[in-house]
Structure 1
Amino acid sequence: MGQVWEAQDESLGRRVAVKVISLLAGGGSHGTEARARFLREARITARLQHPNIVTVHDLGETDTGDSRAPFLVMELVRGEGLDAKLRGGVVTLPDAARWGAQICDALAEAHDSGITHRDIKPSNILVMPSGALKVLDFGIARAADPYATADRLTQTGFIVGTPPYMAPEQARGFPEARSDLYALGCLLFELITGQLPFQAPDTVGYLAAHLTQAPPTPSSVSTGIPAAWDRLVLTLLNKEPDKRYQNAATLSQALRQLDRAYVPTTAGRSRVPSQVESRAALLGRLATAMRAAHDVGAAHLADALSRTQRVPRQLDRASGPASPAPEAALSRTMPGTASLAEDITQRRTRALKPEPLKHRPAPEDDPGAKPGPAPRRSAVRIATAVTALVCLLTVPVIPFATAQAVDTGEITSDEGTVQMALFGVMAAVLAIGVLLMLARNTAGRWLIVAGGIGLALQAVNATLFFNWIGLALQQVLPLAAIAAALSAVLALLSSSGSERQRPR
């Protein structure tokens, strides 16, 4: 319908895109009326402000006499069209779900403002380097119709839209908001299978197919497509608008659920190799690991604490040689550990001899003795372990916030991958530190310090910059940051206290 030029905004000193609608160029009363109507429609669409919609900065008419044409000054977007992505032949299911959800977000914003796009197709979608999408030309197809009248969009001989993606009711001249969802269904079908749902040699063939033919299931065209994708796409391609998704917001939620539930596969033309996994799969593995760490910590916490309280009493009451150590039994089932078990047994026997043992009796064994520092150290250790476990239960919100930041374009996908990797390392360090500390290993304190500081910094970063995760999860982020920092501080206190009070 026209040409797009890159230009310099001399007033604000920025690069912009100028779209000249040459379709409406020309003189006469009809041309003047069509341009005036275009500018009225363009002013309405210029009100749309959304991260996934290209912003319109200005509009006007070229001043060249009989060749006057309307133009739009728009945000200049550096990106790659979805049509170019499709020509590359590699589109993953997670990418299709994530891109489709962002298109739905843009459509929901426009539909709420009473604006339909009418021309959703790959060339009207730009993918930025950050992975975020921009939808172009909202309402332009309708505004640029030179045959439109005040009460009817289309007259005989002119079709608004692109036939391979056109909804049946739009082909009849009665488009509505759910016509955009039908076009998005055609686009999603093409993304996940590599071809359009209908094949035809010309415009008439495409329109007849949309009006009369039943679409194939995506899995019958390309292998490896889950049944959930079949259901979603076929719902969008229903001939009756009332049987499609009721609005773009509902469809956006369904697509994001598909992204989270995706399991990598190698089948199909549009599949990516199995070693390249989606961010959703990575999050799932991290969540599974975190749950396992929580379960292990909870199962061993009570047992480890009870053993800690029994050790002083057993040392005081020991008067004979030690019983056979578990290490000796272990050596019978694990070859190569006999000498190690013998050495451990000898060390334990020497330690249990009453004469060289220098140990202060526990308060329950000697009522007249003053409480020593051991109970205080034990209390700090318990508090450290409990706080670290609380941290492990709350910090899974950090990768979720990171994923949302990537989806909204606040950070790039590479930055998101780095954040995910750092989170996995810090969470693993903290979990291992808790287990070692419960086993009375001093190395556990330092692992808790390192993991707690790292997770606290990540939680603070998420609190400051990731604002797309909802109010409920935003409440969890400060709790995660506090728990992580507190666990690190308590581990430091426990470590310094044990070093000051170590027997000489």
Structure 2
Amino acid sequence: MREIEEIGNVEQHYEVLDMVGDGGQGDLFLGRDRRNGERVALKLQKPRGLGPECLFREAGDELLGEGSRMTMLTGIQGIPEIIGAGTHRGRRCLVMEFVEGRQLQHVLLAKRPVKHPMVVASVIGQLCEILGEVHDRGLVHCDLKSENVIVQSDGRLRLIDMGHAVVEGEPTSEERGTLGWASPEQSDACLSGLTRRADIFGLGCILLEMTVMRLPYGGMEGRAEQGCPVLPADRLAELPPEFASLALRMVRWEAEERPADVREVFDRLRRYLPRPGSRRPSKRLRPDPTEHYRTCAPRL
């Protein structure tokens, strides 16, 4: 694993432009390279509040930890490249590849519910391909949600935000992820360590979000409890038959009852993927994720 390049004062190398995102672990800014004018993404730790200095330093260290995890994924096309790390006005900062496109969350809002098998398979299939490489390098993303997926103009998906990622199997000391999308084992410390099946749960949540516009176990209404229905009866009946059994298995409460890995999920989707050279679906998302498979063969 290569080390992050330390660039010192970020403003010496990059012009800091507009704020484009506000996350729990950092603020995202658009930046421009002063040497060549190319755009970059700058993730800054939150400004210091009224708390002690030690907590502010810890937050900076956590941001650098995210950068280190990103170096483990260097070369994966679906993950933005990490360029370097530095400091901006006393705040630690990651400099990353800028990804042009729209959040999947916003793409879906215009078209939900998404029922066309080709479209559903193209979204989940691409995420399986990306996660397959992430998992092969020993990491679990832990924050899969449509907000963290970018759809580029050519239909290719990119997975962003490694702030909650962990090394697979290493014990965790606190909850990780986002309420509604996080698997049950992520809701507290996990001494046995999180596995790739936590990401399969999140992927299943995206599938349900697309098709029935509902997250499992009550979604974001509160912390789910074991025994809670996966979906209300009316939403359960709306699940596309092509994906119903797969989706419900992906979001099983017990991790060992979910598919073993994303390749198993992908194999269930394969028959619904568009063939290279095929026509685009009449009811498509914009940008159109099916375009990726209509121009490229699957990698899994």
TM-score range, shorter chain: 0.7 to 0.9
Amino acid at match of 2:203: L
Label 1:3 to 1:32 Cα distance change in 2 as closer, same or farther (>3 A): closer
- Paired residues of 2:28 and 2:41 also in contact (CA < 8 A): yes
Q: 1:32 aligns with which of 57, 64, 70?
A: 57
- Cα deviation 1:316-345 (Å, max 9, x = unaligned): xxxxxxxxxxxxxxxxxxxxxxxxxxxxxx
- Cα deviation 1:164-201 (Å, max 9, x = unaligned): 11111111322322101101101101111122233366
Gap runs ≥5 in structure 1: 144-150, 262-274, 279-403, 417-465, 471-504
Amino acid at match of 1:276: S
Q: How many residues align?
A: 256
| 1:127 aligns to 2:151 (yes or no) | yes
Label 1:214 to 1:197 Cα distance change in 2 as closer, same or farther (>3 A): same
Q: 1:196 aligns with which of 194, 210, 215?
A: 215
SS in 1 for 2:211: helix
Label 1:6 to 1:38 Cα distance change in 2 as closer, same or farther (>3 A): closer
- Paired residues of 1:108 and 1:249 also in contact (CA < 8 A): yes
Gap runs ≥5 in structure 2: 1-23, 276-280
- Paired residues of 2:82 and 2:94 also in contact (CA < 8 A): yes
| 1:171 aligns to 2:165 (yes or no) | no
> For the residues of structure 1 that align with 2:107 and 2:274, how far apart are their CA atoms?
22
- Paired residues of 1:193 and 1:222 also in contact (CA < 8 A): no
Structure 1 residue aligned with 2:13: none
Q: 2:250 aligns with which of 236, 239, 243?
A: 236
Structure 1 residue aligned with 2:12: none
- Paired residues of 2:217 and 2:229 also in contact (CA < 8 A): no
Structure 2 residue aligned with 1:141: 164
| 1:276 aligns to 2:276 (yes or no) | no
CA RMSD in angstroms comes to 3.1
- Paired residues of 2:181 and 2:219 also in contact (CA < 8 A): no
| 1:153 aligns to 2:172 (yes or no) | yes
Structure 2 residue aligned with 1:86: 108
> For the residues of structure 2 that align with 1:112 and 1:201, how far apart are their CA atoms?
30
- Paired residues of 2:121 and 2:269 also in contact (CA < 8 A): yes
- Paired residues of 2:145 and 2:203 also in contact (CA < 8 A): yes
Pairing 1:221-232 to 2, within 5 Å after superposition: 221=236, 223=238, 225-226=240-241, 228-232=242-246
Amino acid at match of 2:200: L
Structure having the higher helix fraction is: 1
Structure 1 residue aligned with 2:16: none
> For the residues of structure 2 that align with 1:125 and 1:47, how far apart are their CA atoms?
19
Label 1:206 to 1:259 Cα distance change in 2 as closer, same or farther (>3 A): farther
- Cα deviation 1:374-426 (Å, max 9, x = unaligned): xxxxxxxxxxxxxxxxxxxxxxxxxxxxxx99426xxxx6xx5xxxxxxxxxx
Label 1:219 to 1:134 Cα distance change in 2 as closer, same or farther (>3 A): farther
SS in 1 for 2:42: strand
SS in 1 for 2:83: strand
- Paired residues of 1:104 and 1:251 also in contact (CA < 8 A): yes
SS in 2 for 1:199: helix
- Paired residues of 2:134 and 2:140 also in contact (CA < 8 A): yes
TM (norm. structure 2) is 0.74
> For the residues of structure 1 that align with 2:231 and 2:95, how far apart are their CA atoms?
41
Structure 1 residue aligned with 2:7: none
Label 1:94 to 1:19 Cα distance change in 2 as closer, same or farther (>3 A): same
Label 1:11 to 1:172 Cα distance change in 2 as closer, same or farther (>3 A): same
> For the residues of structure 1 that align with 2:34 and 2:62, how far apart are their CA atoms?
28
Structure 2 residue aligned with 1:56: 82
Give the structure, 1 or 2, with the largest relative contact order (CA under 8 Å, sep 6 or more): 2
Structure 1 residue aligned with 2:128: 104
Structure 2 residue aligned with 1:407: 292
Amino acid at match of 1:213: C
Amino acid at match of 1:11: R
Structure having the higher strand fraction is: 2
> For the residues of structure 2 that align with 1:247 and 1:193, how far apart are their CA atoms?
24
Amino acid at match of 2:119: D
> For the residues of structure 2 that align with 1:24 and 1:46, how far apart are their CA atoms?
27
- Paired residues of 2:214 and 2:235 also in contact (CA < 8 A): no
SS in 2 for 1:105: helix
- Paired residues of 1:170 and 1:176 also in contact (CA < 8 A): no
Q: What displacement does 1:220 show? A: 4.8
> For the residues of structure 2 that align with 1:142 and 1:224, how far apart are their CA atoms?
30
- Paired residues of 1:59 and 1:71 also in contact (CA < 8 A): yes
Amino acid at match of 1:168: P
TM (norm. structure 1) is 0.46
Q: What displacement does 1:217 show? A: 8.5
Label 1:201 to 1:256 Cα distance change in 2 as closer, same or farther (>3 A): closer
> For the residues of structure 2 that align with 1:24 and 1:106, how far apart are their CA atoms?
35
Label 1:127 to 1:56 Cα distance change in 2 as closer, same or farther (>3 A): same
Q: What displacement does 1:252 show? A: 2.1
Which of structures 1 and 2 has the bigger CA Rg?
A: 1
Label 1:135 to 1:224 Cα distance change in 2 as closer, same or farther (>3 A): closer
| 1:20 aligns to 2:20 (yes or no) | no
Label 1:469 to 1:245 Cα distance change in 2 as closer, same or farther (>3 A): closer
> For the residues of structure 1 that align with 2:181 and 2:290, how far apart are their CA atoms?
31
Amino acid at match of 2:164: A
